[in-house]
């Protein structure tokens, strides 16, 4: 079976590593390259064949919006899925207009991510349910400051997760059991409203919890 060749584009290595880890055991998908900005993504397309790109929006040098526009113009067979924390209806509509095939939030589950890639590879459009609701209710999608009260221990764990440490390694560093770390991590994900560590790290970066 021919695998779907995927390019991941994000300026934070921990996000790239997290998404790549989520996709690495998928039978139908192969992550063939990663890039840290839009320019790197375009250079990659000159060298290898890509079917689907998972593209962040906020990146240095060349952001995801401008990169998507150029990719749509130059590489008609390459399909871009935006993978971001932004949920504003105006931005979503703009990206649809310039050629994005899909739009997912970084708190999407592994199952939704796989489903989106497979459908977009077939030429279908894919927008997560939250994105669809934003388009239907634009007033509710306006950006607002998110205030979440984390304990000091939770902040320590978020920062260690962002550094790539496992639950066991975090437990050793903080002198607590890995089960306690797992409990804290579960509570943190619930507070933030994300399903995986990649979504958590993206939230933490956006809100200044980690560099």
Q: What is the pLDDT of residues 19-65, one digit of tens each?
A: 898 888 888 999 999 999 999 999 999 999 999 999 998 888 888 88
Output 2 or 31, whichever has higher pLDDT.
31
pLDDT in tens, 164-188: 888 999 999 899 999 999 999 998 8
The CATH H-level (homologous superfamily) assignment of domain 4-141 is Response regulator (3.40.50.2300)
Residue span(s) of the chain under CATH 1.10.10.10 come to 152-206
Around 180, how many Cα atoms within 13 Å sit in the side-chain half-sphere? 12
Residue tagged 């130059």 (tokens): 74
Does the domain at 152-206 match CATH 2.60.40.2470? Answer given as: no
Measured CA to CA, the distance from residue 68 to residue 171 in angstroms comes to 41
Residue span(s) of the chain under CATH 3.40.50.2300 come to 4-141
């Amino acid at each position: 079976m021919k695998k779907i060749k995927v390019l991941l584009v994000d300026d934070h290595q921990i996000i790239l590593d997290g998404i790549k880890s989520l996709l690495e055991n998928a039978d139908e998908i192969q992550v063939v390259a990663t890039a840290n900005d839009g320019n790197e993504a375009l250079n990659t397309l000159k060298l290898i064949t890509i079917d689907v790109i998972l593209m962040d929006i906020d990146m240095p040098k060349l952001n995801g919006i401008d990169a998507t526009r150029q990719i749509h113009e130059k590489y008609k067979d390459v399909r871009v899925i935006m993978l971001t924390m932004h949920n504003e209806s105006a931005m979503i509509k703009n990206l649809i207009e310039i050629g994005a095939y899909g739009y997912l939030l970084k708190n999407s589950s592994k199952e939704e991510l796989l489903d989106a890639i497979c459908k977009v590879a077939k030429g279908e459009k894919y927008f997560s349910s939250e994105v669809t609701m934003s388009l239907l209710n634009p007033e509710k999608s306006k950006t607002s400051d998110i205030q979440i009260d984390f304990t000091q221990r939770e902040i320590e764990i978020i920062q260690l997760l962002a550094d790539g440490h496992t639950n066991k390694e975090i437990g050793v560093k903080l002198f607590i059991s890995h089960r306690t770390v797992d409990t804290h991590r579960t509570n943190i994900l619930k507070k933030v409203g994300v399903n995986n560590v990649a979504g958590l790290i993206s939230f933490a970066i956006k809100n200044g919890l980690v560099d």
